[in-house]
């Protein structure tokens, strides 16, 4: 199991596991309901499995500052390792949250796959804002939503509280994906642990790009990326200039703050004893700000 050990020696941020624990009420609840620890670990392993398969499909060469699994051990091994982690995660989630929890996770995976298929079908296509939000809800926001709901359910919160926490997670997940899409265009590869401009290289037009899509030069940029099969430094520089000129970072950060505001409003309305933990999490978990200007 050398490969598995190697993968786990480079841990990620663990956002989903932390969020699950906080939604359940924090470490105090983990002591009361020890299956929460198993569930949080299962969720993180599930996320890791999706990343391994995503890197293979997108030909992303770096993950968490190290060569992606497919890049280091080959395509076949990446598929097998991803499947192994999926199976491990499913067992842990089923053990800790039961049939109801597994049913929700199955639906989540289905929606994530649908989002991937939509991206593949709409390569280099200029989609609407509504379409973009629908896609990232399936891709990311629903994962955060399910994580919060499962944590709350295992901690035996009433149904309305579980649903309310799920809505908190959905809003926060949307903010996170907006942040990630912006980071992809300006983060430093060494700092964020993965290559930049990867979405554009794969033909995925995220919101920051859609907001400059009406610029006459943008079509030329797309044609060049299609022809080259990559985003060359000169093209990266041009896109960054367009983003700054159109004040796109400011617009995206406005949206991020709005979704965070909605998430915190949801927590306030629930009136939970541990609500302050979730509010602090919402404020702090997006601390690396792309585009300082």
| Phi, psi torsion values for 62, nearest 5 degrees | -130, 140
pLDDT of residue 223 exceeding 90, the answer is: yes
Chain-wide mean pLDDT for the chain? Answer: 91
Nearest to 201 by CA among 180, 220, 227: 227
Q: What is the pLDDT of residues 180-201, one digit of tens each?
A: 999 999 766 545 567 889 999 9
| Amino acid 188: pLDDT | 60
Tell me how many helices (H) and strands (E) the chain has.
16, 2
Q: What is the pLDDT of residues 110-136, one digit of tens each?
A: 999 999 999 999 999 999 999 999 999
| Amino acid 292: pLDDT | 46
Domains and CATH numbers, the chain: 2-284 (1.10.600.10)
Helix (H) or strand (E) holding 67: strand 66-67
Tell me if 279 sits within 8 A of 269, measured CB to CB.
no
Nearest to 132 by CA among 207, 218, 208: 207
Q: What is the pTM of this model?
A: 0.92
Tell me if 165 sits within 8 A of 270, measured CB to CB.
yes
Q: In terms of pLDDT, which residue wins out, 287 or 115?
A: 115
* CA torsion, ordered 182, 188, 193, 197, to nearest 10 deg: 50
| Amino acid 176: pLDDT | 96
Say which residues have a Cβ less than 8 Å from residue 17's Cβ, sequence separation at least 6.
Answer: 40, 41, 43, 44
**How far apart (Å, rounded) are the C-alpha atoms in residues 38 and 181?**
30
pLDDT of residue 80 exceeding 80, the answer is: yes
């Amino acid at each position: 199991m050398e490969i598995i050990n190697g993968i786990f020696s480079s841990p990620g941020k663990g956002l989903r596991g932390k969020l699950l624990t906080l939604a359940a009420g924090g470490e105090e609840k983990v002591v009361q309901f020890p299956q929460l620890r198993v569930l949080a670990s299962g969720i993180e392993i599930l996320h890791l499995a999706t990343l391994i398969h995503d890197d293979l499909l997108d030909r992303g060469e770096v993950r968490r500052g190290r060569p992606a699994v497919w890049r280091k051990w080959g395509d076949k091994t990446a598929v097998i390792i991803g499947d192994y982690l999926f199976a491990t995660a499913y067992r842990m989630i089923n053990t800790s949250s039961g049939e109801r929890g597994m049913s929700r996770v199955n639906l989540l995976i289905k929606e994530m796959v649908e989002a991937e298929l939509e991206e593949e079908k709409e390569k280099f296509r200029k989609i609407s804002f509504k379409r973009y939000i629908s896609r990232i809800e399936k891709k990311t926001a629903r994962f955060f939503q399910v994580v919060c709901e499962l944590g709350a359910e295992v901690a035996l919160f009433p149904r309305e509280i579980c649903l309310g926490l799920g809505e908190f997670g959905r809003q926060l997940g949307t903010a996170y994906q907006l942040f990630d899409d912006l980071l992809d265009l300006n983060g430093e590869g060494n700092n964020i642990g993965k290559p930049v401009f990867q979405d554009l290289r794969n033909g995925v037009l995220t919101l920051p790009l859609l907001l400059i899509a009406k610029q006459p030069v943008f079509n030329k940029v797309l044609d060049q990326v299609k022809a080259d099969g990559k985003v060359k430094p000169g093209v990266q520089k041009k896109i960054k200039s367009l983003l700054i000129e159109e004040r796109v970072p400011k617009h995206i950060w406005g949206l991020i703050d709005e979704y965070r505001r909605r998430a915190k409003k949801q927590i306030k309305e629930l009136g939970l004893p541990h609500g302050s933990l979730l509010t602090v999490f919402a404020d702090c978990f997006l601390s690396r700000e792309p585009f300082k200007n």
